[in-house]
Structure 1
Amino acid sequence: MTTRQAPAAARDVLGRHNAVLSGPVGAPPLVFAHGFGCDQGMWRAVAPAFEDTHRVVLFDHVGAGGSDLRAHDPVRHASLDGYAQDVVELLEALDLGPVALVGHSVSAMIGVLVAAERPDLVSRLVLVGPSPRYVDDDGYRGGFSREEIEELLATMDGNYLGWSTAIAPVIMGVPERPELGEELADSFCRTDPVIARRFARATFLADNRADLARVRVPALVLQSRVDAIAGPEVGRFVAGQLPAGEIVVLDAVGHCPHMSAPQEVVAVLRSFLARP
């Protein structure tokens, strides 16, 4: 059952996440959730394309962008469940009815958790570069060994700024456009390093494979044809495990197609959102 928050409490939630609304009041709601180390600004080339037809919502996860850093709780935010609860509270505060939720990277899995627990709040999901588990397992290939993930996390702990500068171009995957890698590195560096390291552990050590089958709303996986972080094999696994899932492989390279190939992302989103 959806609970309506008091106006003051709702304003507090919206302020906590630096929520920004645009588009016509009463239009179908469309919420964009950013990935690890990013903020809502990463949707700048996609979100405006829907402001004529949708009530567009952008926000920052706690610890990112213009969010209230005081709201970060080391216990609550030690797992993705805590971030999912944040999104539930945000959607309740928005009071827009069921929304189309677009999540990039870790926010794809956060969206899965929200839709599984509160289907009354989500009408459909779009998962951009999702990975339910980064660590390889028996019969499952997430793309990384446990040792590789532990080494990544140790590097972050020892030199977060150096890690950010080195990893951002790899994540972006478009060396011919170095400005995008620099933008992502700058975003990483603006994030509180203590919070970022905790979020990284919650992200890279999570296992949300079993949660995929709990999602009953229509779900679209948007997958780059080359992605060093969550490759096509992972995207196909996600789409196959979702009861109402499908996948579109974009002619794009890198983990952030909404930045490197925004026109392609907009076109596929328009088609998916136009369905009854």
Structure 2
Amino acid sequence: MEKYNIQVLGNVNSQETLVFAHGFGSEQNAWRSIYPAFEENYRIVLFDFPGSKPANSKDFDIQNYNSLKDYADDLMEIAHLAGVRQGILIAHSASCMIGVLASLRDPNLFKGMVFICGSPRYRDDGDYKGGFSQEKIATILNEMSHNYAEWIRTYAPAAVNDPNKPELVEEFSHCLLQLRPDIGLVVFSLIIMSDYRREVAQVEIPTLIVQPQEDIFVPPTVGAYLYRIMKNSELYWIDTPGHFPHLANPTEITKAIADYLQENEFV
């Protein structure tokens, strides 16, 4: 439990468990304005992926992380340690695909998922518009490797994409600066070079896709693509700009999750 800083909160006797999975450059605290709304009726599982905080960087061996499948191993272990079976995954960013990989390997792990700013592929590929050209990705990785702190000064405001939310830029920047630069580069590379379109098309459990109208890392074309290829999905558009709607507009995200849980009788 200590390796992942697992916390089990809420109604521990509930038959329904919500697992909140944070994205890159984040930690479980990112869910602080979301999960309290569900504590009365749901068992809540929070955790930190290895390498996401200075305290658990020792548990992150770069040589053991070659793809998001290695993070799926972590998620499966977290679920086992927390006693999760047939849970509902609430995932942000890269954790959406981590959840996909874990759920395909163990179909009894989750019975539903919520994607917040999830993408199966960030690189453009023919008619598929993931948001980044190969040249742009090469430039980003080069900037990260040469001056990580300077890259953060550019990356964080672009990700938040809202001049009225300087506190979110500061929070995200702080989380990124907590990462060892070598860990940050490796993990970001794994994410932005990934392609899980084949895997996500195999998902059959009810999935809510929360897609911002303005997210430079996950453009609207990606949300529309996921909705088109996922057999049992629902697409929810949100006007809040940026890659962190769960922090920028927790009220709307909480309602979207609650409506999804009600519609699928996960109550």
Global fold match (TM > 0.5) = yes
Give SS of 1:214's match.
coil
Which amino acid counterpart does residue 130 of structure 1 have in structure 2?
G
1:219 aligns with one of 182, 185, 207: 207
The alpha-carbon distance between structure 1 residues 139 and 227, as it changes in their structure 2 partners (threshold 3 A), is same
Give 1:186's aligned residue. Answer: 174
| CA distance in 2 between partners of 1:177 and 1:163 (Å) | 19
State the number of aligned residues.
263
2:236 aligns with one of 244, 248, 253: 248
Residue 107 (structure 1) aligned with residue 95 (structure 2): yes
Give 1:129's aligned residue. Answer: 117
Give SS of 1:36's match.
coil
Contact 1:60 1:66 in 2 (8 A): no
| CA distance in 2 between partners of 1:120 and 1:37 (Å) | 29
Give SS of 1:268's match.
helix
Residue 16 (structure 1) aligned with residue 33 (structure 2): no
Query: Deviations for 1:97-120, whole angstroms, at most 9, x for unmatched residues?
Result: 211001101111111111121111
Give 1:25's aligned residue. Answer: 12
Which amino acid counterpart does residue 30 of structure 1 have in structure 2?
L
Give 1:164's aligned residue. Answer: 152
| CA distance in 2 between partners of 1:66 and 1:30 (Å) | 26
State how 1:65-214 maps to structure 2 within 5 Å.
65=53, 68-214=56-202
Residue 267 (structure 1) aligned with residue 251 (structure 2): no
How much has 1:66 moved relative to structure 2? 6.3
Contact 1:61 1:67 in 2 (8 A): no
How much has 1:96 moved relative to structure 2? 2.9
Which amino acid counterpart does residue 41 of structure 1 have in structure 2?
N
Contact 2:19 2:89 in 1 (8 A): yes
Give SS of 1:22's match.
strand
Moved over 6 A (4+): none
Which amino acid counterpart does residue 6 of structure 2 have in structure 1?
A
How much has 1:250 moved relative to structure 2? 1.1
| CA distance in 2 between partners of 1:33 and 1:226 (Å) | 22
Give 1:10's aligned residue. Answer: none
Contact 1:126 1:219 in 2 (8 A): yes
Taking structure 1 as the reference length, the TM-score comes to 0.92
Contact 1:135 1:145 in 2 (8 A): yes
Unaligned runs of 5+ in 2: none
| CA distance in 1 between partners of 2:104 and 2:227 (Å) | 15
| CA distance in 2 between partners of 1:20 and 1:151 (Å) | 38
Give SS of 2:125's match.
coil
1:48 aligns with one of 36, 54, 59: 36
Contact 2:54 2:178 in 1 (8 A): no
| CA distance in 1 between partners of 2:41 and 2:162 (Å) | 31
Contact 1:40 1:65 in 2 (8 A): no
Taking structure 2 as the reference length, the TM-score comes to 0.95
Q: CA RMSD in A?
A: 1.2
| CA distance in 1 between partners of 2:56 and 2:186 (Å) | 16
How much has 1:73 moved relative to structure 2? 2.5
